[in-house]
Each structure stands twice: as structure tokens, then as C-alpha cells.
Amino acid sequence: MRTAFYFDEDVAYSRPLTDTPDANVMRAIVAAVPNHRLHVYILRGTLGYEVVAQTRDRLDAIVEHLLGIRQPAWTSFTPASLRSALQNHSVTAFVVRGLLAKDSRSIDAALRESSGYLGAIQVQPGELCWLLYDSSLPPIYRILGDELRMIYHDYQAQIEDDRDHAQFDKWNRSGIFATVTWEDIGLQGTIFDPYDTADHARITGASEELVSDQLAQVVDEIMLRVAKIEPRLVRQLHGALSSFDTLNTADSLAHVSLSCRRLLERLADALFPARDEKVNSCEVGQKQYLNRLRAYIQET
């Protein structure tokens, strides 16, 4: 999921002695996303005035598209407040890729106290969002666990190093991340990038929808079959996934592993009860739950 967090640029950057939106966004992301699954890619910049201005007569259509013309987008904006943000403010947007919906909600709630914060909206795949975000906002950060990577293009350092070293040092001193490094992304996002096109954006959007739909079907199939085989397995599955979702220590990981093992044991009990005789030369007693699952697969 990609989410755009909007700030009123004139307000958010007007007080030099306070934390910038960058620091507030980073703290909110680190607080919302558990370290074991924290991997986000961030674009940041001012939304192009010319993009909105050329279509000012169709502002309602833009708002409708951003809010979701195929399926509703998650957002903390109302249609009226989103229209006002685009029409009446100079908007700095942080477009964060790699979030879950609940992460976006938590980050949005945390940013409510930040100066100039306007709201958040899920980025819908397609040509308009490519025009508004991907083609006009530069990639700026990648967060991987407790590491912050500041993104740059190799040409910025080849002749005269014009990377933002002051910002790099500031992040090192912030204490938000254990390490801060540079990341070269080559030609990505430059005029030489053959995939930085509206056509590729349409293909990417269609692919995201296909993946989402097909994986959702897999999830539905799993839940239908598990509930039919043994309703108690649903509770076991919930316990394992809930533990993984709140994972923060090695002991928590051990608890998740135990929950998953118990889930597999109960699944084996439901599908292929223990037998005294061997199956394909393998023991299929009570303790050999993996062998019993393999035997079930072979028999069916």
C-alpha cells in the first residue's frame, strides 16, 4: 500500500526551530511499523501546481479519482477537505510505499499534532497518480529496519558532490535510526529511465489490482477450508498471526514459532489422524505431524 501524507508547505516549514515534517513523519513511521517488517520507500516534494492548474475545471473529477473510482481509497480527508487542500494550499506530499492500512491510520493519527498537517490518502494506481506523484516527486528516503538510507543519483557525486551532507549529519544526530547511509538508485526516476512513463504506470496499476484480487481469493479459500475442516483452527491461526504482528523480541519470535507448530499439529490431526502403520516408509504417529501432512497430500 502507498499512502500520501499532505502538509501545508507554508505552515509546516515556517518555523525553523521546530521539528520539520520530515522528522515528524519519520518518528511516526518508526512508531507505527514493527521493526521486523519496516521497509518503506519515500517520495517527497511539492505537488506540481501546473498539474492541478491545468485541470482546475475538473477538480471534482480529480478528487473523485484520488478517492477511488474503482474501489474506495483509505483516507482521512473528506471530499471537501481534499478539494480545499489541492485548491487552496501549497502541498508538500510524503508518498510512503510499504505500509499496511493500519500503519497509515496510526501515522495519520500521530501527525495530527504536527504543524501544517492536512491529512492522508491511499495512492490509487494509474496515470493521474503517476502524474501527480511518481513523475514529479523525487525519491528521498528508504527505511529498512533501524537503518535510514538517503537516496541520491550517482551523477550527483561524480564531479562535485552536491548531496545534502548537512541533512545526512542531522539524521545521524537525531537518534531516530541506528545507522544512516547513502543509497544510489542509478537512472531510476531520471529522464533516462525507460519505465518512468504513463503507460508503465497503467501496467503497474493493473498488475497491483490483479495481485490484490488473486491473493484476496487465496485468503478467502484458506479461511473457508480451515473453518470447514476444524473451526478451532481459526482461533489458532488468529493467535499465530496476532503474535507475529506484534513481534518485537526474540522471545516473541519463539512464541510465534510455537503457535505455528501447534497450528500445524492440529491441522494434521484434522486431516490425517495418527496411525500405527507406516506410510511410504515414514512414521505417521502423533508426534510426526509433518509426515502426516505429507501423507495427506500424497493420498489426496
Same domain assignment for residues 185 and 278: no
Same domain assignment for residues 260 and 154: no
Same domain assignment for residues 130 and 186: yes
Same domain assignment for residues 31 and 155: yes
The DSSP call for residue 69 is S
pLDDT over 60 (residue 238): yes
For range 65-87, the mean pLDDT: 84
The answer to whether position 68 is within a domain reads yes
Computed on alpha carbons and rounded to an integer, the radius of gyration of the chain in Å comes to: 24
- Percent of the chain whose pLDDT exceeds 70: 91
- Cell for 228? 470447514
- Cell for 179? 545507522
Same domain assignment for residues 161 and 264: no
Helix (H) or strand (E) holding 106: helix 101-111
> Which residue would you say has higher pLDDT here, 241 or 109?
109
Query: Sorting pLDDT into bands at 50, 70 and 90, what band is 208?
Result: confident
The pLDDT score that the predictor gives to residue 216 is: 84
The pLDDT mean for the chain works out to: 85
Same domain assignment for residues 82 and 173: yes
Domain count within the chain: 2
Same domain assignment for residues 185 and 238: no
The answer to whether position 215 is within a domain reads no
Overall pTM surpassing 0.85 (yes/no): no
End-of-domain residue from the set 179, 196, 213: 196
- Cell for 101? 492500512
The answer to whether position 266 is within a domain reads yes
Same domain assignment for residues 49 and 180: yes
The answer to whether position 144 is within a domain reads yes
The answer to whether position 219 is within a domain reads no
End-of-domain residue from the set 181, 196, 211: 196
Same domain assignment for residues 173 and 98: yes
The answer to whether position 268 is within a domain reads yes
The pLDDT score that the predictor gives to residue 47 is: 86
Same domain assignment for residues 118 and 22: yes
End-of-domain residue from the set 171, 196, 221: 196
Beta bridge partner(s), residue 40: 143
The answer to whether position 172 is within a domain reads yes
- Cell for 38? 519496516
The helix/strand/coil state of 293 is: helix
The answer to whether position 204 is within a domain reads no
pLDDT over 70 (residue 101): yes
Same domain assignment for residues 253 and 152: no
From the number of C-beta atoms within 10 Å of its C-beta (0-12, 13-18, 19+), residue 26 rates as buried
Amino acid, single-letter form, for residue 129 = C
Same domain assignment for residues 168 and 235: no
pLDDT tens, position by position, 15-46: 765 668 999 999 999 999 988 889 999 999 99
The answer to whether 70 and 206 are in contact (CB under 8 A) is no
Domain range for 290 is 230-299
